[in-house]
Amino acid sequence: MNLGKKMAIQSTEFDYFLKVLLRLAEQMIPQYDIWADIEKWKTECTPLQQRRGLEAGLGDLVENSFQLSAEDCQGIDDVMRAEGLMTLSELQVLYGQRVRRLLKKKRLVREEDAIALKGALDADLFDTQELEIAKHLIASYGS
């Protein structure tokens, strides 16, 4: 499975990435009852909204994962790999590529891109130059 350059989930990939989200959530935030949100998605959202919600959920987990130790990330990766699922490290790489691409383009078109850039900003992932570009892009988005 491949999230592609924009970390966009196709309808044919939904079930797979839902499994990825569920397993990551179980390992990273076991106290969170993610099934309640999943059931709400299924009843209240269109398939497109469900895919966008899944993309956002994966993005949130990746952003939170930058706070974990290398050992914790490796443990999560080992579990995911053993189950034949995309690892947290693989998702982190895709997320990082997406953010770097946004900084290079120096413009935000989609709301999802603005959210991803804001998440990277909140996770303190930028050097000084990137930080200024990110702040400018977020401030000027939608204006």
Q: Classify residue 115: in a domain, yes or no.
A: yes
What pLDDT is recorded for position 7?
A: 66
82, part of any domain? yes
* Structure confidence at residue 42 (pLDDT): 86
- By the 8 A CB rule, do 62 and 53 touch? no
In a domain, 54, yes or no: yes
The band of 41, judged by pLDDT with boundaries at 50, 70 and 90, is: confident
Global confidence as pTM: 0.82
pLDDT tens-place string over residues 75-88: 999 999 999 999 99
Q: Where do the H-state alpha helices sit in 1-143?
A: 14-28, 34-44, 47-65, 70-82, 88-105, 111-122, 128-140
- Distance (Å, whole) CA 54 – CA 98: 16
Number of domains, the chain: 1
- Domain limits for position 57: 11-140
Residue 4 lies in a domain: no
The string of pLDDT tens digits covering residues 119-141 is: 888 888 899 999 999 999 999 98
Which two tokens mark 54? 């899944």
Task: Kindly state whether residue 5 falls inside one of the protein's structural domains.
Answer: no
